[in-house]
């Protein structure tokens, strides 16, 4: 029996080293008690210093935590022992690999994490592949995500699975391929199969709310999808379902400002929705410094041809709003409130009727000069305007992508098209919902 004080001393920086050395010297005599301490959610000692001791003990420490994974009876215990088990290091890599075939799903999942934490997921990719077809979906997802993080050198292994099976591994192998290399990583057969699936789904596809963490869109009256794309310079349109178009836009928005891609490479051009065609994607941003002037120019050109054109930004996590309205070649209004110091520099034109109405409801002057208004008054307006973009669109009778439903009248087929950024730099890899 290990002296309980030794384990408690692991939680004291001044006593940790001596206690750890003593526990390592005891070896197998203390591993069961150390494992129980890891599993104890009420323990005053963090699981990390205990894990460090078990790592030094080696195989016996591995076995004790494996047994803990099997026997843990609460979610908190499973979480604590799982973290510890996956942090035992390179010395037990062979044990992790063997545990990939363990009958308990939690052990398999944590073994995958252990291999990844060793930094050996790439070398162990062949051993991880069978878990892509694991009957436990959490295990299969863990293997999938780990293989994605290993890098492109696993692509040949995944292609072989796609070509030869086993069948149960093939679906997730396709997901990993798409995430790692995008369409160039797929075989012609896989690309054709995906395009065929889209064609099969399109006849029954219905509009759905188009929602992302950061929402950017243009709105143009009518259904001249091809003409709108020509005016905007969008090329290589490919038919997509609403789910696929929205998923791509959302993923691109999250991928902005990476070394390889800006998030401006693609746009989703909807079919005509209740009398309007929408163009969605970060490339449509009327507010950000990178795109604001080009979006203003494009909306002006669209309004010459179609009578009017609008662009919006709405942060779905409380990140602000911006709107741009052009009619017959003239910018009627551009305004934004995002909490940034340069918001005032964005303002063009006079307040829209809905802006005036909302200010009147707040007890503020309907027409205003921020430099002349009281700071408290303007702060109230800024917070109100922060969420106003969807309401501005509704007030103008514009189809709002956030309000689209399956009952929204729809004519035509949506497409994903390349922007000039996408033509110049290509598009990011990714796996998306169809």
The tens digit of pLDDT for each residue in 41-67 reads 888 878 888 888 888 888 888 998 899
Question: Which one has a higher pLDDT value, 349 or 28?
Answer: 349
Is the predicted pLDDT of residue 300 greater than 90, yes or no? yes
Q: What pLDDT shows up at residue 337?
A: 92
The count of residues in the chain is: 434
Taking residues 22-28, report their average pLDDT: 76
Provide the token pair at 84. Answer: 């510890």
pTM: 0.85
Q: What pLDDT shows up at residue 249?
A: 92
Percent of the chain with pLDDT over 70: 96
Q: What pLDDT shows up at residue 38?
A: 81
Q: What pLDDT shows up at residue 328?
A: 98
Q: What pLDDT shows up at residue 375?
A: 60
Q: What pLDDT shows up at residue 10?
A: 76
Contact 142, 113 (CB under 8 A): yes
Contact 22, 12 (CB under 8 A): no
Q: What pLDDT shows up at residue 3?
A: 63
Contact 105, 136 (CB under 8 A): yes
Residue 316 has phi, psi (to 5 degrees) of -70, -10
Positive or negative torsion for Cα 322, 325, 330, 332: negative
d(CA 203, CA 116) in angstroms, rounded, equals 43
d(CA 167, CA 398) in angstroms, rounded, equals 47
Q: What pLDDT shows up at residue 23?
A: 75
Residue 236 has phi, psi (to 5 degrees) of 55, 55
Please tell me whether residue 308 adopts helix, strand or coil conformation.
strand
Q: What pLDDT shows up at residue 376?
A: 60
Q: What pLDDT shows up at residue 25?
A: 81
Q: Quickly state the pLDDT bin for 389 (edges 50, 70, 90).
A: very high
Is the predicted pLDDT of residue 325 greater than 90, yes or no? yes
Q: What pLDDT shows up at residue 14?
A: 77
Q: What pLDDT shows up at residue 258?
A: 53
Q: What pLDDT shows up at residue 61?
A: 87
Q: What pLDDT shows up at residue 11?
A: 75
**Cα–Cα distance list, 276 to 156, 225, 395 (Å):** 45, 10, 15
**Number of other residues whose CB lies within 10 A of the CB of residue 94:** 10
Is the predicted pLDDT of residue 343 greater than 90, yes or no? no
Q: What pLDDT shows up at residue 424?
A: 93
Across all residues in the chain, what is the average pLDDT?
A: 90
Q: What pLDDT shows up at residue 4?
A: 72
How would you classify residue 61: left for phi > 0, otherwise alpha for psi between -120 and 50, otherwise beta? alpha
Q: What pLDDT shows up at residue 322?
A: 96
Contact 382, 355 (CB under 8 A): no
Contact 408, 228 (CB under 8 A): no
Q: Quickly state the pLDDT bin for 377 (edges 50, 70, 90).
A: low
d(CA 159, CA 325) in angstroms, rounded, equals 49
């Amino acid at each position: 029996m290990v002296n309980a004080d030794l384990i408690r001393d692991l939680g004291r920086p001044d006593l940790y080293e001596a206690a750890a050395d003593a526990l390592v010297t005891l070896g197998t005599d203390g591993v069961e008690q150390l494992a129980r301490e890891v599993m104890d959610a009420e323990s005053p000692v963090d699981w990390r210093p205990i894990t460090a001791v078990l790592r030094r003990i080696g195989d016996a420490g591995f076995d004790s935590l494996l047994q803990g994974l099997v026997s843990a009876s609460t979610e908190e215990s499973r979480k604590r022992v799982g973290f510890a088990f996956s942090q035992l290091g390179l010395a037990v890599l062979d044990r992790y690999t063997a545990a990939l075939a363990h009958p308990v799903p939690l052990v398999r999942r944590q073994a995958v994490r252990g291999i990844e934490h060793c930094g050996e997921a790439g070398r162990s990719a062949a051993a991880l592949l069978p878990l892509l077809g694991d009957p436990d979906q959490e295990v299969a997802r863990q293997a999938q995500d780990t293989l994605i993080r290993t890098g492109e050198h696993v692509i040949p292994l995944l292609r072989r699975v796609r070509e030869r099976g086993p069948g149960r591994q093939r679906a997730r192998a396709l997901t990993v391929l798409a995430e790692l290399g995008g369409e160039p990583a797929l075989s012609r057969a896989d690309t054709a199969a995906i395009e065929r699936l889209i064609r099969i789904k399109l006849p029954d596809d219905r509009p759905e709310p188009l929602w992302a963490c950061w929402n950017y869109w243009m709105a143009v009256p009518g259904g001249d999808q091809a003409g709108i794309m020509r005016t905007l310079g969008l090329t290589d349109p490919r038919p997509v379902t609403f789910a696929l178009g929205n998923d791509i836009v959302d993923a691109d928005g999250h991928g902005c400002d990476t070394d390889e891609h800006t998030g401006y490479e693609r746009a989703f051009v909807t079919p005509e929705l209740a009398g309007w065609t929408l163009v969605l994607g970060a490339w449509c941003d009327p507010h950000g410094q990178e795109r604001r002037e080009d979006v203003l120019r494009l909306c002006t050109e669209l309004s010459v041809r179609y009578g009017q054109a609008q662009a919006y930004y709405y942060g779905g996590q409380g990140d602000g709003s911006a709107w741009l309205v052009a009619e017959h070649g003239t910018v009627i209004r551009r305004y934004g409130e995002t909490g940034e110091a340069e918001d005032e520099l964005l303002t063009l034109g006079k307040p829209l009727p809905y802006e005036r109405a909302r200010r009147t409801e707040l007890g503020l002057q309907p027409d205003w000069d921020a430099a002349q208004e009281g700071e408290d008054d303007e702060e109230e307006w800024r917070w109100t305007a922060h969420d106003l973009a969807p309401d501005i669109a509704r007030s103008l009778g514009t189809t709002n992508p956030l309000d689209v439903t399956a009952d929204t009248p729809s004519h035509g087929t949506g497409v994903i098209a390349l922007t000039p950024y996408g033509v110049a730099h290509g598009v990011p890899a990714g796996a998306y919902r169809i």
